[in-house]
């Protein structure tokens, strides 16, 4: 098949589009990561990551890995073999974290939840209240389940943990939510927050990031799980001097520095508002325009970073994805495990705006028509356009627009 001209439209929920300025920042000559200059870079990114996690008390750690490595670091640094953990399973990624915990030798109490829902707060509280001997050492919660487009209420998890007066630690997978959906480590008393570089941080895959509370760091002193590469004690000793215990991903760190700059320039709260605004436009396209349903069962579960769109009976979602890629150069997310073939996903996080999403909506619509989904041509784009034209991500933007119309643009 001949190469399709133009740029590939990447709308999977990760990896996301990398801003050009971040790509340029990564194009650096290799340097000595043991030099006296290197700590300027390492200390700046480790310090500024805490601002994105919204913590003053926590400590950030960067591993050359994926978010999966950060999962493992969270578990092995704070738990001992046989320790009991409580986890909700409601999608492929919450399942994989459960699977890892089991394979590492922990006793996992699993709350099975219908795919399309999130962490069941009442059942978490019930399980914690029933644990009179406080055998549960940690609660694992997936903030944003990428496979189903579901966001869970982490503040609510903290509320029920406190209501049960249970001392378990709270571990949160924020891989597809950090810097895109509101995350408040200190306020919600999250003990370990986990993310990866390829989502809201707008970098290539390759960095697994952990942010640990004082309580989690204290738990390391008695944790007996074997660890080496992911040992936070080694990181703490090396990071204190501005270095890493092994070779860091140098170009990625320069990219992270620039990515953090872009985040702070736009403003984290503005970024969260933009993501909600863009997601609402996609949801308008799906439900008002196409008349289709999301995998997320209720509005309280809707994700602002990814929409999992159910295809009609008799249609294979994988065909929509294949046609979109081969014919229109559009990359959409696939249905995974239990929802394979039942849906396709549009990722809407990171470095993007309305017109970029218009391309994804239009391409998905054409691909659906090509495989026999009966949607009205232009309906998705029209519904998204109506929403975006009549709303703003930040209220101040409207005021600025009105001022321009009143006085004319300034060049």
Distance, CA of 247 to CA of 190 (rounded, Å): 29
The H-or-E segment that residue 89 falls in is strand 84-89
- Strand 136-142 to strand 144-145: parallel, antiparallel, or no bridges (unpaired)? unpaired
Q: Which has the minimum average pLDDT: 193-197, 211-215, 406-410?
A: 406-410
Beta bridge partners of 209: 62, 195
Mean pLDDT of 100-111: 98
Contact 204, 256 (CB under 8 A): no
Q: What confidence score (pLDDT) does residue 400 get? A: 54
Q: What confidence score (pLDDT) does residue 127 get? A: 98
Between the two ends of the chain, the Cα-to-Cα distance in Å is 46
Give the model confidence (pLDDT) of 306-353 as tens digits: 999 999 999 999 999 999 999 999 999 999 999 999 999 999 999 999
> Is the full-model pTM beyond 0.85?
yes
Give the model confidence (pLDDT) of 32-57 as tens digits: 999 999 999 999 999 999 999 999 99
Q: Is the pLDDT of residue 401 over 90?
A: no
Task: Kindly report the backbone phi and psi dihedral angles of residue 122, in degrees, each rounded to the nearest multiple of 5, phi listed first.
Answer: -65, -40
Compute the mean pLDDT over every residue in the chain, rounded to the nearest whole number.
Answer: 95
Give the model confidence (pLDDT) of 63-89 as tens digits: 999 999 999 999 999 999 999 999 999
Count CA within 13 A, CB hemisphere, residue 285. 28
Q: Is the pLDDT of residue 397 over 60?
A: no
Q: What confidence score (pLDDT) does residue 402 get? A: 42
Q: What confidence score (pLDDT) does residue 409 get? A: 39
Q: What confidence score (pLDDT) does residue 375 get? A: 97
Give the model confidence (pLDDT) of 229-258 as tens digits: 999 999 999 999 999 999 999 999 999 999
The domains of the chain, with CATH numbers, are 9-15+267-406 (3.90.1150.10), 31-265 (3.40.640.10)
Distance, CA of 147 to CA of 309 (rounded, Å): 11
- Please count the other Cβ atoms lying within 10 Å of the Cβ belonging to residue 354: 16
Give the model confidence (pLDDT) of 370-388 as tens digits: 999 999 999 999 999 999 9
Q: What confidence score (pLDDT) does residue 406 get? A: 38
Q: Is the pLDDT of residue 398 over 90?
A: no
Whole-number CA gyration radius for the chain: 22
Task: Kindly report the backbone phi and psi dihedral angles of residue 347, in degrees, each rounded to the nearest multiple of 5, phi listed first.
Answer: -85, 135
Q: Is the pLDDT of residue 410 over 60?
A: no
Q: What confidence score (pLDDT) does residue 394 get? A: 79
Q: What confidence score (pLDDT) does residue 5 get? A: 80
């Amino acid at each position: 098949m001949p190469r399709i001209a133009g740029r590939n439209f990447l709308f999977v929920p990760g990896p996301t589009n990398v801003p050009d300025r971040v790509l340029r920042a990564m194009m650096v000559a290799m340097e000595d990561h043991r030099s006296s200059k290197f700590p300027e870079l390492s200390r700046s990114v480790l310090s500024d990551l805490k601002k994105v996690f919204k913590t003053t008390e926590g400590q950030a750690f960067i591993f050359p890995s994926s978010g999966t490595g950060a999962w493992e670091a969270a578990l092995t640094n704070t738990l001992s073999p046989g320790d009991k953990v409580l986890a909700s399973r409601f999608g492929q990624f919450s399942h994989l974290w459960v699977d890892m915990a089991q394979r590492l030798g922990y006793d996992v109490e699993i709350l099975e939840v219908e795919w399309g829902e999130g962490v069941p707060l009442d059942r978490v509280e019930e399980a914690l209240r029933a644990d009179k001997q406080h055998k549960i050492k940690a609660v694992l919660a997936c903030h944003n389940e990428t496979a189903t487009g579901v966001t869970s209420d982490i503040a609510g998890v903290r509320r029920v943990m406190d209501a049960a007066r249970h001392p378990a630690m709270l571990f949160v997978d924020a891989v597809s939510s950090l810097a895109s959906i509101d995350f408040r480590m200190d306020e919600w008393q999250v003990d370990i927050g986990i993310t990866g570089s390829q989502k809201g941080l707008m970098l290539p895959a390759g960095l697994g990031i952990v942010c640990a509370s004082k309580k989690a760091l204290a738990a390391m002193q008695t944790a007996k799980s074997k660890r080496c590469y992911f040992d936070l004690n080694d990181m703490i000793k090396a990071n204190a001097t501005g270095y890493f215990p092994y070779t860091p991903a140098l170009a990625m760190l320069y990219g992270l520095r620039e990515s953090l700059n872009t985040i702070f320039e736009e403003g984290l709260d503005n970024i969260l508002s933009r993501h909600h605004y863009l997601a609402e436009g996609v949801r308008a396209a799906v439900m008002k325009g196409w008349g289709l349903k999301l995998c997320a069962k209720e509005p309280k579960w809707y994700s602002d970073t990814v929409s999992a769109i159910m295809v009609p009976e008799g249609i294979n979602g994988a065909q929509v994805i294949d046609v979109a890629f081969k014919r229109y150069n559009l990359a959409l997310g696939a249905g995974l495990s239990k929802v394979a073939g039942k849906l396709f996903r549009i990722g809407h996080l990171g470095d993007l705006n309305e017109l970029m999403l218009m391309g994804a909506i239009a391409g998905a619509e054409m691909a659906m028509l090509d495989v026999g989904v009966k949607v009205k041509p232009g309906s998705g784009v029209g519904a998204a356009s109506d929403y975006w034209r009549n709303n703003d991500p930040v209220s101040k933007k409207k005021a600025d627009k009105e001022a321009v119309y009143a006085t004319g643009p300034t060049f």
